[in-house]
Amino acid sequence: MFELVECEDVVRIPPEKFDLDLKTVALEELSKKYDGMLNKDLGYVIAVISVEVSPAGKILPGDGATYHQAKFTLLTYKPEVQEIVEGEIVEIGDFGSFVRIGPVDALLHVSQILDDYIVFDGKQGILLGKETQRKLMSGDKVRARITAVSIAKGGPVGKIGITMRQPFLGKLEWIKEDVKKARGEAPKPVKEVAKKR
């Protein structure tokens, strides 16, 4: 789930940037520190959106920089188990595929694609359902459910597992086909016939 998170920190303004706009420099310095960071509580930090910085700073002995209190907003993505996500297939292999969801790639294991035996065709770069003949390849748009999230505390990388083996999940074209099929199989309304007395 994407979130805007309010944070506070002290930002270091290097002396060579004293002549520049304080807010612009603070945003730049905070972006260097936070952009791309992975945190167990915040999830994946995508960007620093805005910053308010105190004009009064402190100088520490032995360092010519100034240190300012800052309040800022982060755009984050924290995947949650059972969350429904849409993404794009970015890599196919005999193990399954990787799906780009937001700023990260999630693993879609071959056993979690279809209720069918899946064959990997390395020449064409596709995963193919043996009975259904449904194909999955790089660039396909899919809908899936997050089944596992592992974000180590302070670790640089997290792991996300997803499944498409549930109703109304899968390649978006498959979902449309399934919905049409379900609508066609729905019983037609029965007209009531007036009973004769």
How many separate domains does the chain show? Answer: 2
Which of 77, 105, 130 terminates a domain? The answer is 77
Residues 113, 171 within the same domain: yes
pLDDT in tens, 28-68: 999 999 998 888 888 899 999 999 999 999 998 888 899 99
pLDDT band at 197 (very low <50, low <70, confident <90, very high): very low
Domain coverage including residue 156: 84-180
The domain that contains 29 carries what CATH number?
3.30.1490.120
pLDDT in tens, 153-185: 555 567 999 999 998 999 999 999 888 888 875
* Inter-residue contact 72 to 51 (CB < 8 Å): yes
Buried (b) or exposed (e) across 49-79, using 16+ Cβ within 10 A?
Answer: eebebeeebeeeeeeebbebebebebbbbbb
Average pLDDT of the chain is 89
The mean pLDDT value for 146-153 works out to 84
Residues 174, 102 within the same domain: yes
Task: Look at residue 155 in the predicted model and tell me its pLDDT.
Answer: 55
Residues 174, 91 within the same domain: yes
The mean pLDDT value for 69-83 works out to 95
Over 80: is that where the pLDDT of 195 sits? no
Rg (CA), the chain: 25
Find residue 66's DSSP bridge partners: 13, 59
The domain that contains 96 carries what CATH number?
2.40.50.140
Amino acid letter at 22?
A: L
Could you count the other beta carbons within 10 Å of the beta carbon of residue 159?
A: 14
Distance CA 120, CA 170 (A): 17
* H-helix segments, the chain: 22-34, 172-185
Q: What percent of the chain has pLDDT over 90?
A: 74
Task: Look at residue 39 in the predicted model and tell me its pLDDT.
Answer: 85
Distance CA 142, CA 189 (A): 33
Which of 77, 102, 135 terminates a domain? The answer is 77
Residue 129 lies in a domain: yes
Closest CA to 48 of 32, 62, 61, 64: 32
CA distances from 12 to 23, 61, 78, 84 (A): 12, 14, 28, 40
Closest CA to 136 of 87, 89, 85, 84: 89
* Inter-residue contact 54 to 63 (CB < 8 Å): no
Closest CA to 31 of 59, 8, 50: 50
Greatest Cα pair distance, the chain, in angstroms, is 105
Return the higher-pLDDT residue of 186 and 106. Answer: 106
60 membership: H or E segment, kind and range: none
pLDDT in tens, 81-103: 999 999 999 999 999 999 999 88
Q: What percent of the chain has pLDDT over 70?
A: 90
Which of 28, 51, 77 terminates a domain? The answer is 77
Task: Look at residue 191 in the predicted model and tell me its pLDDT.
Answer: 52
Residues 73, 88 within the same domain: no
